[in-house]
Amino acid sequence: MKQKVLSINGQEVKDIELNDNVFSREVSEGSIYHAVRNELANKRVGTACTKTRAEVHGSNAKPFGQKGTGRARAGDKKSPLWVGGGVIFGPRPRDYSYNLPKKVKRLAIKSVLSLKAKENKLTVVEDFSIESGKTKDLVAVLKGLGIEKRALIVVRDEDSLIKRAAKNIPSLKVLSFDKLRVHDILYTEKLVLLESTVAKLNDFYAEK
C-alpha cells in the first residue's frame, strides 16, 4: 500500500510503499488482547506483602484464662481475629510476569500497525533530528505536523536527542522500531514513523 511522506512542515513530498503484510493485514484482536495483557502483567512489581500470625512481633503467652471470663477463647495476641494480629491469606511477594509466544507478539504488532493505518492515525515523516535536544524545537515540529494529542514517534535507532527533547512532553513517547509495545501503539492517537523506520519495519516484520 502507498502512504504519503510529509516534511516536518506538514507538506506532502512523496509516496512510500508500506508492506501489506505489516500495515494492511487482517487485524487479530485476540493477539492484541494477549499482548497487552502480557505487557501489563510484566510491568507489575508484585512486592505487596502482609505478615501472618507467625511473623507478627508479640508475646506467645495466653492473654487470659480459658474459662471464667465470659469472653471467647484466645490463644495469643497475634491471632488474625485481634487488632494488630496477623493477616489471613494476605498478599505475598510474587512474580506476575510470563512469556508470550514470539509469533503471537509479532502478529499483535502487525495487527495494531494495520489498525492504525486503517483508522488514518498513521503518519510518515521525512527523517529528522533535534540537534539542539530542546523541547521547544520538537514542539515546533509537532505543530507543523498538526499533532496536538497523544502521539508516539518511532525512530530507526536510539536517537538520544529526540528522546531528550521529548522528556518534557507528557503526551509524547519515543521508541525505536525494535522495541515497540502493543499497548503504546494501541492507545496513542497518532503514530508517527520516520521514513527510514518504515523500511526497517517492512523488513523486520515482513515474514508471515
pLDDT the model gives residue 169: 87
pLDDT the model gives residue 15: 83
Best CA proximity match to 85, nearest among 51, 114, 109: 51
Residue type, 16: I
Number of C-beta neighbours around residue 129 at 10 A: 15
Q: What grid cell was written down for 12?
A: 506532502
C-alpha–C-alpha distance, residues 29 and 22, integer Å: 15
pLDDT the model gives residue 142: 86
Domain topology for 2-44+99-204: Ribosomal Protein L4; Chain: A; (3.40.1370)
C-alpha–C-alpha distance, residues 130 and 150, integer Å: 19
Q: Helices in 29-179 by DSSP H: which ranges?
A: 29-43, 102-118, 135-144, 160-166
Q: What grid cell was written down for 159?
A: 536517537
Q: Which residues of the chain have a pLDDT value below 50?
A: none
* Residue with cell string 503504546: 184
Best CA proximity match to 86, nearest among 47, 49, 56: 56
CB 152 within 8 A of CB 145: no
Domain boundaries, the chain: 2-44+99-204, 45-95
pLDDT digits (tens, 9 = 90+) for 46-98: 999 999 999 999 999 999 999 999 999 999 999 999 999 999 999 999 999 99
Cα–Cα distances (Å) from 194 to 26, 115, 128, 188, in that order, read 24, 18, 8, 16
Q: What grid cell was written down for 86?
A: 496477623
Residue type, 108: A
pLDDT the model gives residue 62: 94
pLDDT the model gives residue 208: 54
